Amino acid sequence: MGMVTEAVAVTGLGATTPLGGDVASTWAAMLAGESGIGAITEGWAADLPVRIAGRLKVEPTTVLDRVQARRLDRCEQVALVAAREAWADAGAPDVAPERLAVVIGTGTGGALTMLGQDDVLETSGVRRVSPHTVPMLMANGPAAWVSIELGARGGAHTPVSACASGAEALALGLDLIRLGRADVVVAGGAEACIHPLPLAGFAQARAHSTRNDAPAAASRPFDVDRDGFVIGEGAAVVVLERASRAAARAARVHAVLAGAGVTSDAHHITAAHPEGQVRAMRLALAAAGLPPEAVGVVHAHATSTPLGDLAEAGSVAAAIGTHPAVTATKSMTGHLFGAAGAMGALAAVLTLRDGLVPATLNLDTLDPEVALDVVAGEPRKVLAEAALTNAFGFGGHNASLLFTVAP
C-alpha cells in the first residue's frame, strides 16, 4: 500500500500510573486533583537527598501471571498491563498480524534489572546472575513483549529519546499508518527506574525536587516556588487505527491523532532550546492542517523545573498563543520519563472526549513570567476542537502531538 492521507483514529486507551491501575481510575484521580507522589520509606533511600517518588498505585504483579512476571523487568510489566487494557478497550481488532505494529518508547528500559543484576554479580558471583537478564534489561523489551502478546508481525519499534520517547512512539505509529505500512499500531511509553542511582544522579544535577517533607506538594509546574521534577513510573498505551477501518467495524473513537511534529535542538545535552520546541508544535499544526487558533487545550510537558517550565511557556505562547487552557498533569503523577509523552497524549485525548481539562496541582502562585492560561483549582469545562501535547527530552528531543475530537 502507498501513502495514506486519511485520518488516524485512537480506538483504545490503556494505562497504569501512580494515580491508578487503569485509565478510568487514573483519569478520575486526575480530575479529583489527587497526588500520586509519596515518600520512599525503604532503607536504601535514607541517605539520599531525594526521598520522594510517584510509585504505581497498583502493582503489576497483582495483574500479571506470576511466572511470566518474574521474567519481566518492571518496565516490561507496566507496558504489558497498559497494552492489554488498550487492546481490550479497542475491542481487540481483527487485523492481519503483518498489518499490526507495536511502538513502545522508553527512556531507560530495564534499568532496574541492569542495576540489580550488577549487584548480584558483584556480591554473589556469575552463577547467581539470572539467565533472563538480557531480555529483561534491553530497551526493546517492552515493545517485544507486547508484540508477542498481540501477535504483531508488522514491526516492533522502540524510540529512545529520553522524556520524548512516548510521544515519539505515537508519532512513529502515525507515520506507519500514513505510509501504508500498518493498519493498526499499538503505541505508547513505559518507564520504571525508581532506584538509588537515577535518584542520586538527578539530585546531583539539581533537577529533582528535594521537598521530602511534603511529597504531594513537590511537583508544582509553573508555580513560582517549583524546585524540580519528581520521578514517577508507569505506562500509557493507545491503539491507533486507520479511520475508515475503525468506522467499518463500528469501533468507538476516543479522538483523532491529526498531526505530529518531531524535532531536535542540536544545542545542549540537557538544556532545551525554545526554537526546537516551537518548530515541533508548528510541524504538528501543519501536519494536521490546523491554525493555532483551533487549539483549545495544551497539555504541557511542564516538569516543574525552574528553567524548563519557563522555556516551554514561551514556546507555547510563540507557536500557539496564550488563548488555550493549559494543564500540567505531572503535578499529580510525577515525571514518567519515557512514558510521559504517552501519558500526556492520554490526558489530551480524554480532555477532548469528556470536555474537561484537569487542574494543575500545587499551582498556588503562577510564575509571573508565565503568560499562559494555566488551569488551577478545579477542572475546567472546555469544548475544544483540538488539543496539543508536548514532550521534550534530554538530548534536545522535541515531540508535539495534535489531537482533534472524534468525528
Q: Under a CB-based contact definition with an 8 Å cutoff, are residues 146 and 189 in contact?
A: no
Bridge-partner residues for 10, per DSSP?
A: 240, 255
Take residue 60 and report the three cell numbers written for it. Answer: 503489576
Q: How many residues does the chain have?
A: 407
| CB half-sphere exposure, 83, CA atoms < 13 A | 29
Residues 6+ apart with CB under 8 A from 351: 297, 299, 327, 357, 358, 382, 384, 387
DSSP 6: S
Selected catalytic residue, list 208, 273, 299, 335: 335
Q: How far apart are CA 258 and CA 406, in angstroms?
A: 10
Residue 163 is a catalytic residue: yes
Query: What sign does the CA torsion over 85, 86, 88, 89 have?
Result: positive
Query: What sign does the CA torsion over 135, 264, 399, 17 have?
Result: positive
Selected catalytic residue, list 157, 163, 208, 273: 163
Take residue 80 and report the three cell numbers written for it. Answer: 504489558
Report CA 79 to chain centroid distance, whole Å: 11
Strands 184-191 and 100-105: parallel
Q: Where are the beta strands (DSSP E) in 31-120?
A: 37-39, 52-54, 100-105
Strands 295-299 and 386-393: parallel
Report CA 328 to chain centroid distance, whole Å: 12
- CA gyration radius for the chain? 20
Backbone angles phi, psi at 296, to 5 degrees: -95, -20
Q: How far apart are CA 146 and CA 144, in angstroms?
A: 6
Selected catalytic residue, list 157, 254, 299, 301: 301
Strands 380-381 and 373-374: unpaired
Q: 393 to each of 6, 75, 161, 169, 207, how far by Cα in Å?
A: 30, 18, 6, 13, 13
Residue 301 is a catalytic residue: yes
Give the active site residues: 163, 301, 335
